[in-house]
């Protein structure tokens, strides 16, 4: 069929700013144009254009053989995507909300993640969708699911915080020969402050490489997703106190850029890990033990974490605000560590 370029996917070509959501759409679109093995599967992604309109216009551009509306059966269509990947295709599966990835946990951990290790060949597929709280979505539409899969060898986990990274990372994930879980914080999708003019030329952001957002000499904050922006806000607040905070955006959680974390902590002597995920079993614990193993003698204070509390995400706005880490929580933790 003739290629129809949706109007809203021409912003970068026109030199206009795009949102994080539009950046992901552009990345998907460009990969589908450049590689006809790439196709999309998910609930309401075709005619409706996706719950958040990430795939708006894709059905008209590529047809229903490459933009496939599925039944409400996450385990089933994730397994079907795995079969397609075995046959040389490169499926991108959308979870309408990442909370609903749990029915696909079995096929993801027991089959997809182990494929290469069992001699069944590469498994080039992406499972992407919205995560995160702050939108009063309650416990079924607000979860961060990364640590449910972090313990599974064979998977990669990506969680961007900017439009530039989101586009570059989704393109890199699609080109990767391993299964990638790609988390997109819904609170960042259309955030006005995150609009960027992206490069017109093709680019990727390599998986497994963290980014230093701010440089500082007194303390390291390691974070990702929406908490990158709260951490930067906290760091700016503390500049008046004479505290230089280094903020590292992990971008990829698995594989974890351990070297970037350790090198920063060796310079600053203090570590704070900030994540929106709940506290127990969160990635902060893994990061802390790795720093302890490789940089304990450089530490000048205890390692701390600022996280969500151990509870389901509340519906109530005031309760959700209490549940989620806030800028003031980060500021308080940094001040404690700086004075230690």
So where are the chain's domains?
A: 7-197, 211-339
3-state helix, strand, coil in the chain (%, to 5): 40, 20, 40
Q: What is the pLDDT of residue 3?
A: 64
Asked if the domains at 7-197 and 211-339 fall in one CATH topology, the answer is: yes
Handedness of CA 34, 38, 42, 44 (dihedral sign): positive
Q: What is the pLDDT of residue 1?
A: 47
Q: What is the pLDDT of residue 6?
A: 81
Look up residue 107 and give its DSSP letter: I
Superfamily of domain 7-197: Thiamin diphosphate (ThDP)-binding fold, Pyr/PP domains (3.40.50.970)
Full-model pTM = 0.96
Residue-level pLDDT, tens digit, the chain, 340 residues: 446 678 889 899 899 999 999 999 999 999 999 999 999 999 999 999 999 999 999 999 999 999 999 999 999 999 999 999 999 999 999 999 999 999 999 999 999 999 999 999 999 999 999 999 999 999 999 999 999 999 999 999 999 999 999 999 999 999 999 999 999 999 999 999 999 999 999 999 999 999 999 999 999 999 999 999 999 999 999 998 999 999 999 999 999 999 999 999 999 999 999 999 999 999 999 999 999 999 999 999 999 999 999 999 999 999 999 999 999 999 999 999 999 9
- Catalytic residue numbers read 141
What separation, in Å, do the N-terminal and C-terminal C-alpha atoms of the chain show? 65
Tokens 């904050």, residue located: 221
Identify the CATH assignment for 211-339 out of 1.20.1250.20, 3.40.50.920, 3.30.750.24, 2.40.50.140: 3.40.50.920
């Amino acid at each position: 069929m003739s290629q129809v370029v949706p109007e809203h996917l021409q912003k970068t070509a026109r030199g206009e700013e795009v949102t994080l959501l539009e950046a992901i759409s552009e990345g998907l679109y460009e990969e589908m144009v450049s590689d006809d093995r790439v196709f999309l599967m998910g609930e309401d992604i075709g005619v409706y254009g996706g719950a958040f309109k990430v795939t708006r216009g894709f059905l008209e551009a590529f047809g229903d053989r490459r933009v496939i509306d599925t039944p409400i059966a996450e385990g089933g269509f994730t397994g079907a995507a795995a079969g397609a990947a075995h046959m040389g295709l490169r499926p991108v599966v959308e979870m309408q909300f990442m909370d609903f990835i749990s029915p696909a946990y079995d096929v993801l951990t027991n089959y997809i993640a182990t494929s290469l290790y069992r001699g069944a060949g590469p498994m080039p597929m992406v499972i992407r969708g919205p995560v995160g709280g702050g939108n009063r979505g309650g416990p079924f539409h607000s979860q961060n699911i990364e640590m449910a899969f972090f313990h599974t060898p064979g998977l990669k986990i990506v969680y961007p915080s900017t439009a530039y990274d989101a586009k570059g990372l989704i393109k890199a994930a699609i080109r990767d020969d391993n299964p990638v879980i790609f988390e997109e914080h819904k609170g960042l999708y259309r955030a006005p402050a995150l609009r960027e003019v992206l490069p017109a030329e093709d680019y990727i952001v390599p998986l497994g490489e963290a980014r230093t957002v701010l440089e500082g000499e007194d303390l390291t904050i390691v974070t990702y997703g929406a908490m990158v922006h709260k951490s930067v806000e906290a760091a700016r607040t503390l500049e008046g106190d004479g505290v230089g905070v280094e903020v590292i955006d992990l971008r990829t959680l698995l594989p974890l850029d351990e070297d970037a974390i350790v090198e920063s902590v060796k310079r600053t002597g203090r570590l704070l890990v900030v994540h929106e995920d709940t506290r127990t079993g969160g990635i902060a614990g893994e990061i802390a033990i790795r720093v302890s193993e490789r940089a304990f003698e450089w530490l000048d204070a205890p390692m701390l974490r600022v996280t969500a509390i151990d509870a389901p995400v509340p519906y109530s706005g005031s309760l959700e605000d209490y549940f989620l880490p806030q800028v003031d929580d980060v500021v308080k933790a940094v001040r404690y560590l700086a004075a230690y």
